[in-house]
Amino acid sequence: MKKIALLLILAVTGLTYAQTEGPLNPEPGKCYVKCTTSPEFKTETVEIMVKPAYKVLSVTPPVYKTVTEKVLVKEPSKKYIYHPAVYKTVEVPYIKKEAASKYKVIPAKFGSDSKSLEVYPKTGKWEYTSYADCQSPNPDDCKTLCFVEKPAVFKTVPITTLIADASVEQKAIPAIEATYKKQVVAKPAWTEEVEIPAQYGTIKKQVVAEPAKVITKEIPPVYKNVNKTILVKPGGITTWEEIDCGLVKPNKININWALNSAKLNPAAKAEIDRVIVVLMKEKPNVKIELASHTDSRGSDAFNMELSQRRADAIKSYLISKGISPDRIISKGYGETRLLNNCKNGVKCSERQHAVNRRTEYRIIGD
């Protein structure tokens, strides 16, 4: 948000100070205000289409007529008459019991015998023994080493021997024959085909004699002239404007507001034209603050709202005169800035109260 800043440069003879911001080469005794130029606009009239072209459609229903038509009510078909097959009886031989073989088992024959089996082999090892007549007190000095051999160990195992292995003896069993009776087809079954003719009837129906129609009506577009604001020159350029030093401080506008009213009468508008409109057009880059005040009569809230409506009324009038709203700040102060002691509860004359009913303006910067 931009700050509202006022720069007042006063050059006083014999007084020197360090200048950090301001216009180049200011003249002693003059006042300057820092301004940001407002954008420049122009108004053009353009034609725009406010309603497009479109179609209006209407429909003519179809026209029917009744006709008589022969129709098939039962389709043609066929009927089939079935004639069964004719059979005859014949005897058919068959094997009632098939031939086979009969077997007799002859078991194996066995004998008895034995077999000697070495179950532990012959072995030998060195063994130490003590010498009986040893003269040494150390028994290890009188040991003798002998090789001892042990014979193998054998065991007799009884065994069974095969004298003749098992075998079979085959004997033939003859087949048994017989016959049975069965019916065989002497003449196959067959079908007889019989034609069944179609059946017809008559019906009445409605057919389209004249089809439905769609009638199209073209509605042209509607155009309207609109005033369009076009940016001619962008604003935002900082400049320094020389102004009357008296305009820096609040200056009263001679407007006699009617009691509890924020309506501008012709005399008030003439005063605004003479003072404010002339100033704003001569100084196209400056901004002003409009400050409205009331006397203390009435509630604080009502007076604050009334003063704001009066300031806004002047702003709206200036805008109607072609002044950009960006250059105007309107502010109502109600009864917060009385110029005398006529506050709540103090009895004052009408003239004393009128001093506080005022609208002021002052030049402000960017």
Domain assignment of residue 347, yes or no: yes
DSSP H or E stretch at residue 255: none
- Rounded Cα distance, 257 and 47, in Å: 43
Q: Residue 136 half-sphere exposure, CB side, CA atoms within 13 Å?
A: 8
One domain for residues 250 and 349: yes
Kindly state the percentage of the chain with pLDDT values over 70: 82
When divided into structural domains, the chain yields a total of 2
Domain assignment of residue 216, yes or no: no
- Rounded Cα distance, 239 and 210, in Å: 82
- Looking at the chain, the number of H-run helices and the number of E-run strands are 4, 22
Q: Among 172, 201, 221, which residue terminates a domain?
A: 172
Residues contacting residue 68 through CB under 8 Å, at least 6 positions apart = 202, 203, 204
> What confidence score (pLDDT) does residue 25 get?
62
Q: What is the mean pLDDT of residues 246-256?
A: 72
Mean pLDDT taken over the chain: 81
Domain assignment of residue 79, yes or no: no
> What confidence score (pLDDT) does residue 230 get?
79
Token pair for residue 107?
Answer: 């078991």
Question: What's 45-82 look like in SS3?
Answer: EEEEEEECCEEEEEEECCEEEEEEEEEEEECCEEEEEE
Residue 343: give the domain boundaries. Answer: 245-364
Domain assignment of residue 60, yes or no: no
Kindly state the percentage of the chain with pLDDT values over 90: 25
Q: Tell me the pTM.
A: 0.40
Burial tier of 134 (Cβ tally within 10 Å: 0-12, 13-18, 19+): middle
One domain for residues 152 and 258: no
Q: Among 150, 172, 194, which residue terminates a domain?
A: 172
pLDDT of 348-360, one tens digit each? 998 998 889 899 9
Question: Burial letters for 172-184: b for 16+ Cβ neighbours within 10 Å, e otherwise?
Answer: eeeeeeeeeeeee
One domain for residues 249 and 160: no
> What confidence score (pLDDT) does residue 286 get?
82
Domain assignment of residue 90, yes or no: no
Domain assignment of residue 110, yes or no: yes
Q: What is the mean pLDDT of residues 136-165?
A: 80
Residue 254: which CATH number? 3.30.1330.60
Sign for the pseudo-dihedral over CA of 225, 231, 233, 239 = positive
One domain for residues 251 and 333: yes
Domain assignment of residue 217, yes or no: no
Q: Please tell me whether residue 337 adopts helix, strand or coil conformation.
A: coil
pLDDT of 9-67, one tens digit each? 333 333 333 344 666 666 665 565 555 555 666 778 888 888 898 999 888 898 988 98
One domain for residues 264 and 165: no
Q: Please tell me whether residue 332 adopts helix, strand or coil conformation.
A: strand
Comparing CA positions, the residue from 327, 288, 294 lying closest to residue 310 is 294
- Rounded Cα distance, 306 and 296, in Å: 12
Q: Among 140, 157, 172, which residue terminates a domain?
A: 172
- Rounded Cα distance, 192 and 80, in Å: 5
335 falls in which pLDDT band (50, 70, 90)?
Answer: very high
Domain assignment of residue 57, yes or no: no
Q: Residue 234 half-sphere exposure, CB side, CA atoms within 13 Å?
A: 2
